[in-house]
Each structure stands twice: as structure tokens, then as C-alpha cells.
Structure 1
Amino acid sequence: MRIIDNDLLSIQEARILVENSKEAQKELIKLSSEKINKVIEAFLNRVLDYSDEYIKSVYEETRIGSVDDEKLLLNMFLTKLKENIYDLQCVGSIKKDNNGRTSEVGVPYGVIGAFCSEKNSVLTLIYYITLALKSQNAIILVCSKKNSKTLSEFLNKVRKFLELEGIPECAVSYLSNVSLNGYKEIVNHRDVNLIINTEVPEIVDEIERSGKILLYGSYGNTPVFIEKSANIEKAVSDIINSKTLNYGVAPGSEQAVVVEREILESVKSKFKEKNCYFMSKIESEKLKQILFDKNGNLNAKYIGKTPQFLAKDAGITIDENIKLLITEEKYLTLDSVYGQKKLCPVLDFYIEDDWENACEKCIELLLNKSQGHTLILHSENDYVIEQFLLRKPVGRMLVNTSGVLGSMGITTDFFPAVTLGSGVVGKGITSDNISPMNLIYKRRIGYERSKNFSNSNYKKIMDKKIEKSMSDKELEEIKRLLIKIFN
């Protein structure tokens, strides 16, 4: 009988992948920016032709989210990505000042290890590959074990296409023997220069111990505040459309709603009108019992499931047209399990007397379990908007838009991104929407300023020092010599 140790296979494969990627990157950097743009354009146009079948296959493996919603999100995202990616200059000369006295040169890091969760995985892989190509880094993709079979087939097709377009073999590769030890080998290999991690928390501690540069994106505990000047119809519609997209597993989705008391009834009425269900205290407790484990962590069984699936398991009766389950909460305490990210169509709902108290509530939610990277504010009051921006410990703030589409850069001018850096989580080096500019380091070049002695600070300093100790004749001679030297 033949015994195969998958951990050993995974470690060995990881080592080979890194070695091959390092050599491929040396060839990738030789390609011109024009060539890279042509490849990316061909890739983004072609990948839509066969991504649908893999989105469906991934769903069959994971049962997370909605096939139709992920297709829709992919199409919207790629449309916006195409608008932003081609004109971006990130390798070679990227910036010069008006006088040409300073400039910046973008240099790829080399080999990138990229970790992708089972959620929105096809979209994430396309995004990762595009970023790596544009920044001319080799990339090793690491997928979840749950959907590695389907994604391996997808990536094989992508690699063949890219190689036919002129991208060096192994510039884009993936770990096919998936194991935690294989993950660790990639993280700790001396030739892996940077790590991207989108919602794979089990490897974060290992990355931090390795000392590698980490770009980390999580879904975050995103609060949304509806202030009394807001367009309530639009605010409620934005929240519902965002939170229900892919059944709560799209990046940046709203997790908690904070409402000013003055408009409470109008807001609740609008949610109910749009098929959202406010649970009773007993029903909220029932849902809590199944949705979270004994340690208060979200039960993976309910990630990306429908409200009807959640309600049935909790013993709650709801109509088939219900889109969201809402629990009304008075306080946020250490035992408040609802006050965290919930990757399913469930929102917690808080009432505050005024915007200042609402501001404090949003801060509590952002800092709860250190998961806040995005805050959403619906308001027409410029002063309130400014105060929220000044006070919030958050990576990005959205105003009068959808959490998902806004944070991903689809309805805003943020760079289109799936990996959303966090402002307070303490993981990763940036709160940016991760773009190709985060995958390079910048060399800065400075030229000596004009040697015109009459305009130099050095002359002024020397004048003062000389005047204290020299006669007029000696002073004039020294000045004459200095002018000769500097000119």
C-alpha cells in the first residue's frame, strides 16, 4: 500500500513554486508597460467568457453566497477595474516634480504569496492576478481547501492563456497540494517578498512572526449611521441592496445600523416596507443560539446563507420574501455577540438620541473585536460628516452610498479592490484599497539644488559667523574665495 503524506507534498511543492516564481519574475520585469497592458486587457476580456461556470462550481463545493450575485458583482467590478488599471503607471518612472529635481521609480517586490478564502474566490483570484501582472511581480496563489479542486482547474486555464499571451511560465502559479504546512512554507520562504491575505485569519500569526510585509483585508465590522438629514429612502435601499448582495459575504457589507431617534419610526417603516424582518427579543435569542458558538464566534455553517435558512434552523417563522433579519440591541457589551461582523443577512439595530451619541456608538462598533475598516454615513449635514471623519478610527468612510459597492470602488473613486485594508485591526501595513501601487516599493531620486551661492542658506550662515571674527578686508577675501568655490 502506498502512503502519501500531503503535508510533505505541500511543503515540497511550495518550495518549488517559490524557486520557479523567482526565476519567472526576472523575465516578467523585462516586458514593457505596453505589453503588460495588452495582456491584462486580453485577460480581463477573456476571463468573463468562462468565469461563470467556475463560480457555479465553487458554489457547489462551498454552498456560500449566491451564484447570480457573484456573477453580477464580478461584472460590475471588472468594468470599474478596466477604467482604472491601464493608465496606472507603477513600474519604472512614476512621478517627477515640475522642475525635474526629484523623481520616483517603481520597483516590483519580486515574489508575492497571495491567500484567498472560500468567499468570492473567483473574483478575488482574477483581482490578484491583475494586480500582480500590472506591478510585474510573480504571484503564488493559495486557495482554501474547500474549493481548491475547482479553482485549480480555473487557474490552469488562466495560466495557459497568459503564457500564450507572452507571460513567462510560473509568473502566475498556485499551490495544488493544500495544507497549513504548505501555507507556512510559502510564508517563511526567504524568496517570498510580500504577502496578500484576504480573510484567511488562520495564517496571520505565522505571517506576523515571519516579519514579511503583509497586506491584509478583512470583511470588517462595518457600522452605518442614518442621520436625521439623510434621504431615508435611499439610505435604506442602499443598506438592503448591499447587505443582501451574495447573502452578506461581499466585502465591506454593512453589519450594524445606528439611527437617530427623531427619524426612528420612518426608518423602521421603510425597512419593513422593503421586506426586512425585525425580530422579537425571543427570536433574536433563538437566532443567537445557532448563529454563534459558545465563544461568541460566527458559526461557519451560516455564512452566506439565506434569511429563510437561518430562520428555519432558529425556529423562527418568516415569509419567503424577507430579505434581512434585524435584531434591535440597546447596548454593546463584552457579551454582545451581535456587535461583530456577520457574514449573512443579519443586521443589529441601535437607536441614539443625537448624532454625537451615534458617533460614539459607531466608534464602539468599529473597535469591537478590532474589526473596523469602513464606516458608512447617510447625511446631508456637512458639519456632521466632517466630525465623523475627524473622530473615527477607520480606514475609509463612505457617504450616502452602498457599503459593498462604495468600499470596493464601484460607486466611489476608490481604487477598485477586493482586499480592503483595515484602519484599526492591527494587521497589515495599510488601510488602502489594495492596488498595484501597494505591490511596489518606490525609489526616490533627488538632484542637488542650484549652486547659486547668493541664494543659499549656507551663505547667510557663513556671513554671520565671519562677521563676528573677521576684519572688513579679511571678510571680503573670504567671500570672494567662497563665491569662486561654489560657482
Structure 2
Amino acid sequence: MEMLDKDLRSIQEVRDLIKKAKEAQAKLAVMTQAQIDAIVKAIADAGYAHREKLARMANEETGFGRWEDKIVKNAFASKHVYESIKDMKTVGIINDDKVHKVMDVAVPVGVVAGLIPSTNPTSTVIYKALISLKAGNSIVFSPHPNALKSILETVKVINDAAVQAGCPEGAIASMTVPTIQGTDQLMKHKDTSVILATGGEAMVKAAYSSGTPAIGVGPGNGPAFIEKSANFELAVKRILDSKTFDNGTICASEQSVIVEACSKEAVMAEFKKQGAYFLTADEAVQLGKFIMRANGTMNPQIVGRSVDHIAKLANLNVPAGTRVLIAEETSVGRNVPYSREKLAPILAFYTEDNWEAACARSIEILNGEGAGHTMMIHSENEEIIRQFALKQPVSRLLVNTPGALGGIGATTAIAPALTLGCGAVGGSSTSDNVSPMNLLNIRKLTYGLRELEDLVEQPTVQAAPAVATISQDDKEQLISMIVARILEKM
């Protein structure tokens, strides 16, 4: 019996999944809003009901993060996202402007390719399925191999619930033989309509290079500025809550802290009080060797790991109960590991003379890595906050809130999402927190309001020259002069 190579099996599997997904999407496209909403609710309910089981599976399989926090992520991806989209109009006529006679008709994009990372595997599957199906699309997942088991279980849980609620078979599916070649086929297939890319920088670049429309997420590397008017105790609490949440695996989490010189000692004391450990210069060098690999990418050995695990890896002795490791830094660059994205409980600490220098340092950090993503500011000075909003190259400027939870819309009023666009500056096709509206085309129905004649400028009519008028006395005097001259010539 002939056996296909793994890559060939993967490619064929993708072709089969896309064929079924396209057929299923054709059925979704003619469903009513009520039918679509019933399917979406079933997905959300199933994700929420299995939130703990899926969280434990993801943590056990990958070793990343904390299963307790992954429960929160799964709850957010199901219940919180659902609450934000449940009343959204996504089928048929979604807007009708009677005054200007313009009607918006929602048109699903078709088959979505959903790339799933190992850092947030189960929650990302739930979220991407919800926003795709809400917009009337089918979705085929490409799972990270290191989280295959938990991803496939999540797909099974939500697909079973969706089918029971009337969803066509094949509308929610996943590759079971994940390979680079299979994922490449998924992204480049003629019947794949759009790619939702969440993963490493190389994966996102591949999505944008595939020739298929893509919505991708660049790296996060958000600095957090604690301005001198801030409540230091609360600012530090929020940063530590964010950076320790699931061991820092959310890309919107803080990567560095910037303070003014006048606040340095007070802020450092507060960090120490709340469980942070400031590395000595030698310890910072020692740990720095483990943050980045020789090729300049983040070392997966530290991603989503606890302080204890990272300390043992780098042979460091840190106090028991340490929540976050902090290294003082003065430089930014590709070869400066603490200035880069670190999806782990590790922070850089910069000191600047004033807020203007802190603003410039933030821009330097973001332009080095993370442009277009997210920044945090802790301040009570509205004018300084406004200046940062005007100058920082980010899509989200979060004020007085934890970065990880504020960026995804859990502690803020922006759209709840686990795909955070970085805009053109970050190499992304959108700066939005991605929602069902990003997975719809809008067909415009519009009535004529003007005729051609209304657009043509009418020629300006020139006024006739004014005719001079003279009084009766002047007329008589003129006639007398003319008569006199005639008589003279006779």
C-alpha cells in the first residue's frame, strides 16, 4: 500500500477541508440573522462550559502560562466576545440611510484561514470561530504543532455545539496534520478568501506574502510610562497584574517601564514592595543571554514560563515569591534583548529626565520593535496623555490600565479581541481590534440624487455694456454746438 509523505498528506487534507468549508459557507450565506446568531451562541456557550478543561489541556501540552489564567482567557474569548457581538447586524441589510438613499448589505468574505499560536491556542480558536461564523463565513484552522491536541479538542467542542444549532458540517474545521507545506496550501488556495494570522513574525509575513488578503498581527513590544503625576502604587499593581497574567503570553502586555528621574526611587521601591526583583548588572547580562536566540528571535525556552523556571534556566538566585524580573537598561536595539518583546515575566526599566525624553524613548523602543501595536501610560496629566496620543506610533494607547487586559478590550471599552491589528506602520492591513465587521464585505446600494445637467457648470452670461445717459440741457447744448460748426463750414 502506497503511503504519502506527511507534507503531501497535509496538503491533501487542506484541499479536502477547504472544499467542504466552501460548500458549508454557501449554506451559511443564505441563513437568516437569527439562524447565524443561534450558531454563534452555541459556540460561545460550549467554549465557556469547557473553559477549564481546555485551559488545563493547553497548559499541560505547551508548558506556557498558567492554566488558571487560561481559564480567564477562554471565558473572555467566549462569553465576553459573544456579549460584544451578539446584537451586531451581519446578515442582509445592515444599514439604510433614507436621507441620502444609501443602503449597506453585508456580504460574507467566504472561507477564512485561521492560524493559531501555541501561546493562546484554545482561546484564539474560540474567538476566531465566533467572529468568522458571526459574519457568515466558514473557517479552517492551521494549528501550531506544539498545541495540536488542545486545539483539536477545542475545535471539536465548538463544532459539535455549532452543528447541533444548525451549522453546516465543514464550516468549522482544522488540519490534523500540520506542516509548513499544508499551511502554505491553506493560505494560497484559490478558495481561501482571507487569512487571520496570529503567530510568530515569520508566519505573519508569510500570510501577507501569500497573495491572499490577510489580517495579521505584528510583534508587541509595548512600553509603559509611569508619569510623575500617576498613582505609583496603582500603576505598579496594574503593570505586575498584566505582566504576570498567564506569564506574559499576551502580546499587548508591558515589555518595558519608563520613569522620570524624579520618580525613579519611589517607583523602584513600589515594584520591590509588590514582588518585583531588580537584577544586578551581572545578573542582567546573565539572563540577557537567554532572552534572544542567535538569529535574533525570542527564545521559546522563556516564553510563558514562570520566574522560577527562568531563574533556574539562567542559573540565577532570586528571592522566593518573586513575580517579575526587572533589568535597568539605557539602550535600544536588535542586539539589546531587554528592549525587545519578551513574552515572559521580564521587564526593562528606563529612566529619563522628563516626560518629553520618556516620549522620545517610547518612540525609539516601538520603532525598534512593536510599531503599530500598543503602549501604556499611567498619568493624571491630561495634556501629557494627549501629547503621547498624538505622537506614539501605536494603534492602542492605554491609560491607567493593565496592558494585557486593556489591549484585548477586557478592562477597556474597545472591541474585545485576540487579534490586534497594528496598522500600516506595523505592517498590518488594519489597526482595529478585529471583529466580525473586519470579515465582511459591504455592498453599497445607492440611488441617484443628481442628473448630468446638475454637474455641468452653466456658462456665465455677460452683462451688456452700460449706455451713457445725458441730461436734456446737455442735449440742447450739444445740438447747438454741432449746428454752429456746420454753419461755419458753409
Common fold, TM-score beyond 0.5? yes
Amino acid at match of 1:151: I
How does 1:333-412 map onto structure 2 within 5 Å? Answer: 333-412=333-412
Deviating more after overlay: 221-230 vs 211-220:
211-220
Q: Is the 8 A contact 2:393 2:425 kept in 1?
A: no
The SS at the match of 2:388 is helix
How does 1:397-476 map onto structure 2 within 5 Å? Answer: 397-423=397-423, 426-449=426-449, 458=456, 461-462=457-458, 465=459, 467-468=461-462
How much does 1:13 deviate?
0.8
CA separation of 1:323/1:83 partners in 2, compared to 1, >3 Å: closer, same or farther? same
1:112 aligns with 2:112: yes
Q: Is the 8 A contact 1:363 1:392 kept in 2?
A: yes
Give 2:67's aligned residue.
Answer: 67
Query: CA offsets per residue over residues 208-252 of structure 1, 9 Å max, x none?
Result: 332211111245011111111111111111100001000010231
In structure 2, distance between residues paired with 1:451 and 1:372? 44
CA separation of 1:203/1:294 partners in 2, compared to 1, >3 Å: closer, same or farther? closer
Deviating more after overlay: 82-91 vs 390-399:
82-91
Aligned residues, how many? Answer: 465
CA separation of 1:248/1:424 partners in 2, compared to 1, >3 Å: closer, same or farther? farther
Give 1:250's aligned residue.
Answer: 250
Query: CA offsets per residue over residues 363-401 of structure 1, 9 Å max, x none?
Result: 011111355500111111111111111111111111111
In structure 2, distance between residues paired with 1:70 and 1:220? 19
The SS at the match of 1:277 is strand
Q: Is the 8 A contact 1:396 1:423 kept in 2?
A: no
Give 2:319's aligned residue.
Answer: 319
How much does 1:422 deviate?
1.0
1:134 aligns with 2:134: yes
Amino acid at match of 2:421: G
Query: CA offsets per residue over residues 243-289 of structure 1, 9 Å max, x none?
Result: 10000102311101111111111111110000100001000001011
CA separation of 1:100/1:321 partners in 2, compared to 1, >3 Å: closer, same or farther? same
CA separation of 1:77/1:129 partners in 2, compared to 1, >3 Å: closer, same or farther? closer
Query: CA offsets per residue over residues 110-137 of structure 1, 9 Å max, x none?
Result: 1111101111111000001101110001
How does 1:203-222 map onto structure 2 within 5 Å? Answer: 203-222=203-222
In structure 2, distance between residues paired with 1:85 and 1:23? 25
How does 1:145-294 map onto structure 2 within 5 Å? Answer: 145-294=145-294
Q: Is the 8 A contact 1:367 1:424 kept in 2?
A: no
How much does 1:181 deviate?
0.5
Q: Is the 8 A contact 2:218 2:427 kept in 1?
A: no
TM-score for the superposition, normalised by structure 1:
0.91
In structure 1, distance between residues paired with 2:333 and 2:169? 53
CA separation of 1:208/1:162 partners in 2, compared to 1, >3 Å: closer, same or farther? same
How much does 1:138 deviate?
0.9
Q: Which consecutive unaligned segments of at least 5 residues does structure 1 have?
A: 472-487
How much does 1:69 deviate?
0.9
The SS at the match of 1:132 is helix
In structure 2, distance between residues paired with 1:204 and 1:452? 47
Give 1:484's aligned residue.
Answer: none
The SS at the match of 2:337 is coil
The SS at the match of 1:297 is coil
Q: Is the 8 A contact 1:327 1:349 kept in 2?
A: yes
The SS at the match of 2:421 is coil
Give 1:297's aligned residue.
Answer: 297
How much does 1:331 deviate?
2.1
In structure 2, distance between residues paired with 1:287 and 1:200? 22
How much does 1:36 deviate?
1.5
Amino acid at match of 1:158: I
Amino acid at match of 1:148: L
TM-score for the superposition, normalised by structure 2:
0.90
Q: How large is the Cα RMSD of the aligned pairs?
A: 2.1
Amino acid at match of 2:461: E
Work out which of the two has the higher radius of gyration on C-alpha atoms and give 1 or 2.
2
In structure 1, distance between residues paired with 2:424 and 2:221? 11
CA separation of 1:26/1:334 partners in 2, compared to 1, >3 Å: closer, same or farther? closer
How much does 1:20 deviate?
1.3
Amino acid at match of 1:190: K
The SS at the match of 1:289 is helix
Q: Which consecutive unaligned segments of at least 5 residues does structure 2 have?
A: 466-490
CA separation of 1:285/1:372 partners in 2, compared to 1, >3 Å: closer, same or farther? farther
In structure 1, distance between residues paired with 2:17 and 2:333? 46
CA separation of 1:341/1:424 partners in 2, compared to 1, >3 Å: closer, same or farther? farther
CA separation of 1:354/1:3 partners in 2, compared to 1, >3 Å: closer, same or farther? same
How much does 1:162 deviate?
1.2
